[in-house]
Amino acid sequence: MSEIVIPYRTEPHPLTGVTSGKLGIWLFLASEVMLFGALFSSYVLLRVGAAEGTWPTGVEAGLNVPIGTFNTLVLITSSITMVMSWASLKMGNPGAFKRYMGATIALGMLFLVVKGFEYSGKFHHGIFPATGWPGASDPSTFYGFYFTITGLHALHVFLGILVNIWLLVWGLALYKTEPERFAGRVEISGLYWHFVDLVWIFLFPLLYLL
């Protein structure tokens, strides 16, 4: 029985100079740029178009700047542990890969837990996506935007964690037989993870600080 092998998994395609997986993830990330771009573009439209006094700053809306700052640092730290996990594989050290990948997963989870506390704090104060500002029934789309884009971002973090758990627990077996191919998988997961970090880098000042 013949096995169908997807070409250019580990060696670069002669036309593009990159592996099929890397081209694939970058195409996906380009579509993600447009997905989040549409929401950022909506933000500009909604904020500029908001009637006087209906668009709060993050502090006025009750967002906690120290907590947001903490979560930003958590994501940034998870980005360096992610790149270190990949570098460890490239340097032939699967033990260090496990530690760094474990740390990346833990930091991702910490981000979601903190975000969860922020959400539940809002819900306890009766603030939901349809809640207005400054009064609950005033016309403001701030909370609608806040919950939509941070929710979509949190979903991305969650999916990244799942992929990283898979790589750590089940995926690593491939390293014994095809180390370069497994390192490629970790690099691809890392590209996605850094992109999610990158989105937050813009989200944090827009929502919390301005």
Partner 1 sequence: MSEAVAISESEAARVKSHLRVYVMVFVALAVLTVVTVAISYLHLPTALAITVAMVVATVKATLVAGYFMHLLSEEKVILWLLVLCAAFLVFLFALPLGTETGNGPLWPQ
Contacts with partner 1, 95-134, as mask; x by CB under 8 A: ----------------------------------------
Task: Pick the piece of the chain touching partner 1 (CB under 8 A) from 99-107, 144-152, 158-166, 188-196.
Answer: 188-196
Name the residue nearer to partner 1 (CB basis): 52 or 124: 52
In the bound complex, what is the minimum distance in angstroms from residue 140's beta carbon to partner 1? 9
Contact with partner 1 (CB under 8 A) among 84, 101, 168, 186: 84
| Among the listed residues 21, 61, 63, 82, the single contact to partner 1 using CB under 8 A | 82
Q: Mark 141-170 with x for binding to partner 1 (rule: CB under 8 A) and - for no binding.
A: ------------------------------
Tell me the per-residue interface mask from 17 to 46 with partner 1, x by CB under 8 A, - otherwise.
Answer: xx---xx--xx--x--xx--xx-xx--xxx
Can you read off the two tokens belonging to residue 203? 């989200």
Answer for which of 100, 111, 143, 195 binds partner 1 (CB under 8 A) is 195
